[in-house]
Amino acid sequence: MTPTGVPGVAETLEAHGETTLVVDPARIVETCTYLRDAEGFNVLVDVSGVDYLGWGGSGVAGYIGTEAGRDLHAPGSQGFQRVPADKPKRFAVVYHLLRVADAPGRVRVTAWLDDGDEIDSVVGVWPAADWFEREVFDMFGITFRGHPYLVRILMPEDWEGHPLRKDYPVGGEPVRFSGEE
């Protein structure tokens, strides 16, 4: 089931029954075209961005389970959590693909980018990528080369900043309680 021989793939990961292909961002269009035509992933389900700034900084200890995983039959088990492994770069652009066919399948394609890097748009491969990429641009500031109309989609056009980045504050107002000075 795992696609093999896909061009541009740096490594293949399997977890929780899902396949993730880590791809070289410079060859993303080639990879996606191959996946669409040769492997039959005809539907682009989602394009998301993830910002890994500050990854792994929240500490290690937890009462959850052993390093290998948790044993449901030994609910009192203690142990330490796995330390989250370092991520190669700050941003990840994640494509979820679906094969609508008699033998359905899903795959996730991840491309790692640094701040300020650009990546080619896959609008030519699946037109569905249009608004998804606009949203990633709006929320993270990642530029997609070759996108026909890369403007902000969710925030107002004159908004400054990219909200889903980790260094962008959540915002809002401090809650005032009646009776406090």
Partner 1 sequence: MAVMPAQRIYEGTRIPSPCPTILRIDPSEHDLDDILTINFGPNHPSTHGVLRLIVDLDGEHVAGIEAVIGYLHTGFEKTMETKTYWKGITYPERIDYLSFQANELVFVLAIEKLLDLETPEKATWMRMCLSELNRLHSHLVWLGTSALEMGAISMFWYAFRERDMVLDLFEMVTGVRMHTRYFQVGGLAEDIPEGFYAEARAFARHMPKAVDDYEAILDRNKIWLERTKGIGLLSAEDALALGQSGPMLRASGVDWDLRKNMPYLAYDQVDFDVPVYPNGDVYDRYKVHMDEMRTSARIVAQCVTRLEEMRGDRWIADDRKVVLPPREELHTSMESLIHHFKIVTEGYRVPEGEVYVAIESARGECGCYLVSDGGPKPWRVKFRAPSLAALQATATCVRGAAVADLIAVAASLDPVMGDVDR
Partner 2 sequence: MALARRLPLVSDRPAAKAGLRSERTLWPDRGPGVFEQELESIEDALMTTTVEKAVAWAQSGSMWPDTFGLACCAIEMMSIVSSRYDIARFGMERFSSSPRQADLLIISGRMTHKMAAPARQVYDQMLEPKWVIAMGACASSGGMFNNYTVLQGVDKIFPVDIHVPGCPPRPEALMEGIIRLHEKMRAGVPPAYEIRGVAE
Q: Which residues bind partner 2 (CB under 8 A)?
A: 155-156, 163, 168-173, 175
Nearer to partner 2, 75 or 171 (CB): 171
Q: According to the binding rule CB under 8 A, does residue 174 interact with partner 1?
A: no
Which of 59, 167, 175, 181 is close enough to bind partner 1 by CB under 8 A?
59
- What is d(CA 32, CA 27) in angstroms, rounded to the nearest whole number? 9
Secondary structure of 38-97 as H, E, C letters: CCCCCEEEEEEEEECCCCCCCCCCCCCCECCECCCCCCCCCCCCCCCCCCCCCEEEEEEE
**98 phi and psi angles, rounded to 5 deg:** -135, 140
Q: Show the site string, 119-148: x = touches partner 1 by CB under 8 A, - = not.
A: ----xx-xxx-xxx--x------------x
Binding partner of residue 153 among partner 2, partner 1, none, CB cut-off 5 to 8 Å per kind:
partner 1
Binding partner of residue 33 among partner 2, partner 1, none, CB cut-off 5 to 8 Å per kind:
none
**129 phi and psi angles, rounded to 5 deg:** -70, -15
Nearer to partner 2, 72 or 151 (CB): 151
Distance of CA 147 to the CA centre of its chain: 19
- 15, 16, 68, 142 from 72: Cα distances, Å: 19, 16, 13, 41
CB 52 within 8 A of CB 138: no
- What is d(CA 14, CA 1) in angstroms, rounded to the nearest whole number? 11
Which of 27, 40, 66, 164 is close enough to bind partner 1 by CB under 8 A?
164
Contact positions vs partner 1 (CB under 8 A): 15-16, 18, 20, 42-46, 48, 50-52, 55-56, 58-59, 62-65, 69-70, 72, 75-76, 81-82, 84, 94, 96, 98, 100-102, 104, 106, 108, 123-124, 126-128, 130-132, 135, 148-149, 152-156, 163-164, 168, 170-171
